[in-house]
Amino acid sequence: MELGKDIKCVLFDVEAIAARVKELGREISRDFKGEQVVMICILNGACPFFTDLIRAIDLDVRIDFITASSYGNATESSGIVQISRDLRTNIEGKNVIVVEDIIDTGITLCFLSKLLSARNPKSISICTLLNKEARREKVVNVQYSGFPIADEFVVGYGLDYNEKYRNLPYVGVLKEEKYL
Ligand code: IMP
Ligand code: MG
């Protein structure tokens, strides 16, 4: 396999991800029963997770996209968050669920939650596929979390290293020699 040869080990395979996404979808459907939710995809990383998750939710779901980056092109956060594509939706009075691929230092989501809260949504929740709690610098209130992970650099299912590996169908640890 062309991309797979750069992967040291698979952490979450296609089946494990699909099963967890279904559970998260059920949880969200139960928590917001009878209500409309606006699901916000943080581009680019959350894209595969987002498209699977929205189809696992049985509610009146509206979708929108935002592009935020706190990373340069490396494996460490720059600490600066930039919005290069904002929402097209007015979220005032709406139940907003922000969907992210991974929470690492928390800088991106801390910034985004403040930005979106200032627009007066009815509620704001955070749903992340992966949670690297050991690296947290900013407090982030996470309502829905797919899998906790250790402090390792992972790629696949949306997650990249220098924009590569996003299309791997699973999440795996990148071989050290690929980023040293
Ligand atoms: P934070 O602002 O430090 O929480 O970083 C969040 C962003 O960092 C994510 O949206 C990812 O783009 C990126 N990131 C953090 N850890 C990893 C990783 O292990 N693999 C790939 N991207 C990562
Ligand atoms: Mg990202």
Least confident of 14-28, 66-80, 106-120, 128-142: 66-80
**pLDDT for the residue 115:** 95
Spatial separation of the C-alpha atoms in residues 62 and 83, rounded to whole Å: 21
Amino acid at 16: A
Confidence (pLDDT) at 179: 76
User: What residue owns the CA closest to ligand 1's atom 17?
Assistant: 153
Mean of the pLDDT values across residues 32-42? 98
pLDDT at 1: 66
Closest ligand 1 atom number to CA of residue 137? 3
Q: For residues 35 and 32, what is the distance between their CA atoms, to the nearest angstrom?
A: 5
Region 133-145: mean pLDDT is: 95
First to last CA, the chain: 22
Q: What angle do CA 41, 46, 50 make, to 5 degrees?
A: 65
Res 76: pLDDT: 65
Contacts of 154 (CB under 8 A, 6+ apart): 11, 102, 130, 171, 172, 173, 174
Tell which one of 147, 149, 159 to mutate to probe ligand 1, the residue whose CB is within 8 A of the most ligand atoms.
159
Residue 104 is among the residues annotated as catalytic for this protein: yes
Question: Rounded distance, CA 34 to CA 50, Å?
Answer: 21
Mean pLDDT of the chain: 94
Per-residue pLDDT tens for 65-90?
999 877 555 566 667 788 999 999 99
DSSP element (H, E) containing 110: helix 107-117
